[in-house]
Chain A
């Protein structure tokens, strides 16, 4: 395509490009401009020197992180929590989308959809405050219910026994509706003739689901899985910052919170940038690797 043809096509669709522009500007400002700050990880950041005027420090802050006695624990905890969220949190929205697709009562379907989207818009601080109120052993409704059944009150929060269940469960509750939207859209795009053909071939609803719906959303699921793998080194700082306590620190301290507390809490901005950069590089390697595997196995890939 010659350059003039390209410009002609852009001009023809100029309205669509104008609508894209805020998104492009957003990405440029918040995802590309900050890349300039990566150099802080290799500098001794000074307030007076800023990004470009602070003295170079080489690999000093990376060495500090890897000689930190809890660095391996932090990496391990991050991966475990992310893996759990990935494996369970990735499949649940697909399940919800498929189930909703099977619901024939439109009013019920729309109500469930709306209710499942709502938690996504509630901030973690509100979610955690609600959880504290509901789960407290001192007069919380859940423990009151357990007591009425003759059971002993349970300390749900700040307790290693319940930590993973609460982290993964609350994450799914908050995101399942929102994450299912894209699958709902993919399902809506499946040619209805395929279902009719399946019916003629004698397929029941489960068979249709298995042979039509799932293959219909396979591509989008693979793409989203590849993208999700990129966040394997990031377990979600808001949730963990709020739900991790001293009792669960051994399994709940993650890299994201470590970066925030070192950078903003202790003022070690270069160190925090180094740890953050380490996370990003691992994420990039993971995405490239999984993308390559996906391309070989299923012919679906991001790039």
Chain B
């Protein structure tokens, strides 16, 4: 009898163990309110206006993070106004991989927002063409703020043609943060920036550096000075994650991704002698120890650590990223702030030419067909895109974090001081600012409606203004011409050519690490051969025919 009881108990325990193991293997998040209810198949739910609902939002930006609190002050206001609670998912890893994964596995959020370019946008376009997204064309009349953000005049022409007006009258994508007026346009001030104290130590005025040779000599002098910080050598040139953006000296070698061969036809710059020179220049920087060899494999935390320890003399990236990363070091070592190098020469551009920048929005937002409440999703997005929503997500809660004085938002001193003091940015996030809502707030109106960023500290604004004066002596010119890169994608060879063209960046990195110049050129030529084999010649011919007589982008600086 006893034996039987032991056996029964053992059997019961075994079954419980097995059931537990199987339950543990299931993919259910277990929160009970996640993306589980997909029962209306993307149909509208008009009877449920302002009914309380939780929506899962995927913020597809690698490394983006949210708050540490359950619901921030900003999210509480959103819930009051729309009845919607947001459940966030932030991407950790490649954004392109995330896009491909959610559609391949059908594990989708209620709202997706992510980069408006590159493989991320390609993935979204593919999803739109394959009937995975909600068609908004018959709904936008009820949501004027969203309709405005994707009106033809508010989207760059080539992008409009490629991603917004490409589905036979259907409308799947929403566009975010395109400047509403010219004064809202953001110039990120990409460039090379040197630590002021290091430039002084080696006795070189950063503004005297203009040419490729001068940049090389400048870096060489830094290396030869044998500087060290915390017992470790100072690296002459470095960047952030995966090599971002050390390669931006390319504009000293060629004007843009496609160049005029001289006969009025275009060629991808990868096929030009200028590209070879650019590659060999960087190979030389690496071989001589002027460029951080870890720059191409490091993560952002490691890059930031090097900057915080004062071990990078010259950084190549956009200025806001450099200011953020160097904040702590500069605070502890006054006079060590990064200042612009140059302005550097630009291949093919007259000395008095304004800097050509592609100014555009940064997010596309879509509602997957599996979204559990399309109307609620649109209600949320439309509210965020309103002026009221825009100010809420950028500045926080009116009356709590800021006040409207003479029609202009003004930060409350108490919060301004707190935010300025907090170098981690966590305090802002815990109030609901910079948690991803800003990626879904319609057109960028930071100056026209917001009266200029009220949270930007004066020192930062002054640094940006100073850099702008140095790097943009002739101002900027916003590009409105056609981009050959958008046209070549329409060639019927694109499907076979794309995998080869996607390799250009990786192959460049391999080439600059090659043992010799000859080996570097061989690496490039091998890919050129593959591109030709997979239809490049036919695709570029198609591009040239389509762009005949049209104004084409031949000069473009990173932005």
Q: Which residues of chain A are near B499, meaning CB under 8 Å? A: 262, 266, 268, 271
**Contact (Cβ within 8 A) B123 A22:** no
B526 at the interface (CB under 8 A from A): yes
Taking A138-B311, A158-B294, A246-B509 as contacts, is the C-beta distance between A267 and B123 under 8 angstroms? yes
- Contact partner, A15, options B11, B17, B230, B512, Cβ 8 Å: B11
Within 8 A of B (CB), among A133-184: 136, 138-139, 155, 157-158
B231 at the interface (CB under 8 A from A): yes
* Binary interface encoding of chain B residues 114-127 relative to chain A, with 1 for a CB under 8 A from any of its CBs, else 0: 00000100110011
Taking A69-B530, A139-B232, A264-B97 as contacts, is the C-beta distance between A245 and B18 under 8 angstroms? no
Q: Which residues of chain B are near A267, meaning CB under 8 Å? A: 96, 99-100, 104, 119, 122-123, 126
Q: Which residues of chain B are near A265, meaning CB under 8 Å? A: 94, 96-97, 100, 119
CB distance from A249 to the nearest CB of B (A): 5
Taking A157-B297, A158-B294, A265-B96 as contacts, is the C-beta distance between A247 and B127 under 8 angstroms? no
A2 at the interface (CB under 8 A from B): no
The chain B residue sitting closest to A262, CB to CB, is B499
A46 at the interface (CB under 8 A from B): yes
**Contact (Cβ within 8 A) B10 A136:** no
Q: Which residues of chain B are near A269, meaning CB under 8 Å? A: 100, 104
**Contact (Cβ within 8 A) A22 B18:** yes
- Contact partner, B130, options A18, A21, A48, Cβ 8 Å: A48
Q: Which residues of chain B are near A19, meaning CB under 8 Å? A: 14
Q: Which residues of chain A are near B529, meaning CB under 8 Å? A: 69
**A interface bracket (residues with beta carbon within 8 Å of B):** 35 or more
Cα distance A19–B17 in the bound complex, in angstroms: 9
Within 8 A of B (CB), among A227-279: 245-247, 249-250, 262-269, 271
The chain B residue sitting closest to A268, CB to CB, is B499
* Binary interface encoding of chain B residues 29-70 relative to chain A, with 1 for a CB under 8 A from any of its CBs, else 0: 000000000000000000000000000000000000000000
* Binary interface encoding of chain B residues 338-358 relative to chain A, with 1 for a CB under 8 A from any of its CBs, else 0: 000000000000000000000
B496 at the interface (CB under 8 A from A): yes
Q: Which residues of chain B are near A303, meaning CB under 8 Å? A: none
In this complex, the member of B14, B127, B526 whose beta carbon has the largest number of chain A beta carbons within 10 angstroms is B14
Q: Which residues of chain B are near A132, meaning CB under 8 Å? A: 294, 302
**Contact (Cβ within 8 A) A18 B297:** no
CB distance from A166 to the nearest CB of B (A): 13
Q: Which residues of chain B are near A247, meaning CB under 8 Å? A: 293, 510, 513
Q: Which residues of chain A are near B18, meaning CB under 8 Å? A: 18, 21-22, 25
Q: Which residues of chain A are near B126, meaning CB under 8 Å? A: 47, 267
B7 at the interface (CB under 8 A from A): yes
**Contact (Cβ within 8 A) A246 B526:** no
Q: Which residues of chain B are near A139, meaning CB under 8 Å? A: 230-232
**Contact (Cβ within 8 A) B297 A245:** yes
**Contact (Cβ within 8 A) A155 B100:** no
Within 8 A of A (CB), among B223-272: 230-233, 235
In this complex, the member of B10, B99, B104 whose beta carbon has the largest number of chain A beta carbons within 10 angstroms is B104
A114 at the interface (CB under 8 A from B): no
**Contact (Cβ within 8 A) B14 A158:** no
**Contact (Cβ within 8 A) A266 B294:** no
CB distance from B10 to the nearest CB of A (A): 6
20 A-B Cβ contacts within 8 A?
A15-B10, A18-B15, A22-B18, A22-B22, A25-B22, A26-B25, A47-B131, A64-B496, A69-B530, A69-B533, A138-B233, A138-B311, A158-B294, A158-B296, A245-B513, A246-B297, A263-B100, A267-B126, A269-B100, A269-B104
Interface positions of B (Cβ within 8 A of A): 7, 10-11, 14-15, 17-18, 21-22, 25, 94, 96-97, 99-101, 103-104, 106, 119, 122-123, 126-127, 130-132, 230-233, 235, 293-294, 296-297, 302, 306, 311, 496, 498-499, 502, 506, 509-510, 512-513, 526-527, 529-530, 533
Give the top 9 A-B pairs by smallest Cβ distance, nearest first.
A246-B509, A247-B513, A267-B100, A69-B530, A139-B232, A48-B130, A245-B297, A47-B130, A18-B14
Beyond the given A136-B294, A158-B294, could you list 10 further A-B residue pairs with CB under 8 A, ordered by the A residue number? A25-B18, A45-B104, A47-B104, A47-B106, A245-B296, A246-B506, A247-B293, A249-B506, A265-B96, A269-B104
